[in-house]
Structure formats: C-alpha cells, structure tokens
Amino acid sequence: MRRLAARPGDLVLVTGATGRIGANLCASLLAEGFRVRAVVLPGDPARARLAGMALEVVEADLLDRPVVRDAAADVDAICHLAAVMDQGNMAPAEFWSRNVDATHSLLEAARANANLSAFVFASTDATYPASRPRFLPISETHPQDPVNAYGLTKAVGERMCLGYRTEWNVPARILRFGNVATPDERASGAGFRLAAHIERFRAAKRNHDNYLWIRLLEHNQPWAALESRPDLEDCLIALLGPDGRPWQSHYTDVRDCVTGILAALQREAADGEAFNILGPAPTTWLEAVRYLGERRGIEWRTATVAIRQATELSTAKARGILGYVPRITFEQAVDDGIQMLNGVDIGVIGMTVRS
C-alpha cells in the first residue's frame, strides 16, 4: 500500500526552489535528513540562493513535460511552489500557462509515479475574496471566490490537485499562504513607503492585478489623497480607512511557511485537505509602522484613504491536523530582519532587500 507521508531519507522534488519559500525549504529539508532535487529555470539569476547546498539541481521549464516527468519519476514527494504572482507586462495567456499548465504538467508527472507519498501544492489566500469576506477570520470553509488572476490560477490548480487525487490517487495536499516575506524584506519597510502605496492603488485601477480593485470600483483616483502629501515622502505610512481605523494584514514569515510544508509532507492526515498557513495573528498597519519606525529610526505617519482593508485568516485547522504552530510575529520578523540587513547570518536565506 502506498505511503501517504514523507519521511527523512526520502527524495523530495522542489519546484520554485530559488524563491523566498523554496530556497529556505530546500535548506530545511536537507537539515531534516531529506534528499532534495531542485527544479530551476535555465539561467535563473536567483540560483545563487542554493549555493553550498548538497542537493541535485535540474534545469527545466515546467512546461517541458518529458523533462518534468523524468525529474519526478523516482522521487518520494513533490513540493510544487513555482508560480508567477504578478502578471505585470506578461500576456494573460502566458500568465495562465505558467501557473495552470505548469501545474498540470507536474500533476501528470506525479500520476506516473506510483510510489509518490505526498504532493504539496502551494496556494494562496487570494483564492478567497479577502477584500470582501463573508466572515472573519477566514477559515477553509469560506467560499473561494478569487478576484484577481493570480488567485484564479491558484484556485484552478487546487481543483486539479484534488481531481488528480480522486481519479489517480495522487496524494495531494494544499497549503494556502498569505503575505509571505523573509525577515529582511519585512524589516525593509518598503511596502509602507509613499510610492508603494500609490502604486498599489494605481495597479488596482490599471489592470486589476491586486485584490483591492474590486473595492475601488467607485473611486476614480484613490491615490490622489496620497499624491497631495509630499510631506510623507520620507516616512513610513500607515493607511487609515475613512472611519479612522488602520488597515490590517495577516503577515507570514517564510520560516512559518517552511514549518507548514514540513508538517504537511509528513502527516497522512494532510492528504486531500487544504490548510491556511499564516503567521500567529494579524497586525494593524499602525502597529507595524510604529514598531518599524522605532526599531529603524525612521519617522512614521498616518494617511487616510478611501477604503479600509482588513485581513485575518484562521489557522485552527492546520493547528489541529498538522500540529502547525506559527511562531514568528511581525515584531520578531522585523528584529531578525534588521540583523540580516546588518550582515548577520541568522540561518535564513533572504531576498537582499535594502531601503
């Protein structure tokens, strides 16, 4: 009978191995006694993140089905993390192909491997209508109704994974991550700068490439209030809604993501299930910029905008079934990230963010 859980010594195929989650997962798998085969795109400039790791590297495009099938033929488990998150200037057909067709290619390879014990699919909280939830915190029972292209491709990927499990016994389990960053990214504070806020709103109106656009349909130029505030140029900025309450996000440290993946790989009860994998608790943007400002010595301010966004997801199911316990608070991530920005090795592969 097929095993439905991986164990140390197994060979694990990791796609998206040079990404923020993938690189740290590869390092943790090796530390836990697994063997790793990392799939990277030919010429990937981020391959340096895997330097010094005792793993096998396969250069391949996931759309190259024969190569992918060979890469997956003898592995014990697969962690499929590769995806394009931001469509940017990419044509919709190519964006769809990179996220959906590539997942189908990998599922076909998994179907041909009769000894596969686990197929972990990295999904996202963007499969939920996070900007207009029916209830908070959002649990896995919340209807999935993605409002952007990325969330749609991941929702389709989830359905394919479950379909392959039903029809061909591919041992799929789904992890929905949200607002993931490495500590150095978190400590940079880049997302709280004036230019980032303005671009966030402009992108939403320009091509619906983020989850806010559906809340902004009745607002012609939601960035105008920010563009009229040049005094905020050098500050960290917490956005407030029209009612004066700060925005709120549910941040996730990359280390907690890795913890969730390792748990899903090694527990039979994960098979056929979907789990929210996020940080310990949501953080208001006011709390975030205050802490960042104090720790980095950067002035922080508030700015009122046309809408208020507040996100919170439940991790109760992952805690109960996987034994998942997220440990890295926003504050801890910032403290660790400051060390990384100062050149201290804390055992996390960062994104070399500077501010």
Catalytic residue, candidates 150, 251, 291, 324? 150
Question: What residues contact 23, with CB distance under 8 A and at least 6 apart?
Answer: 17, 46, 49, 50, 349
Are the C-beta atoms of residues 121 and 103 closer than 8 Å to each other? yes
Compute the chain's Rg from CA coordinates: 20
User: Strand 283-284 to strand 248-249: parallel, antiparallel, or no bridges (unpaired)?
Assistant: antiparallel
Other CB atoms within 10 A of residue 9 CB? 10
Q: Quick check: is 150 catalytic?
A: yes
Report the run of H or E that residue 283 belongs to, with start and end: strand 283-284
Question: What residues contact 140, with CB distance under 8 A and at least 6 apart?
Answer: 176, 274, 275, 276, 314, 317
Identify which of 306, 262, 276, 350 has the alpha carbon closest to the alpha carbon of residue 12: 262
Phi, psi (rounded to 5 degrees) for 321: -95, -40
Q: Annotated active-site positions, please?
A: 150
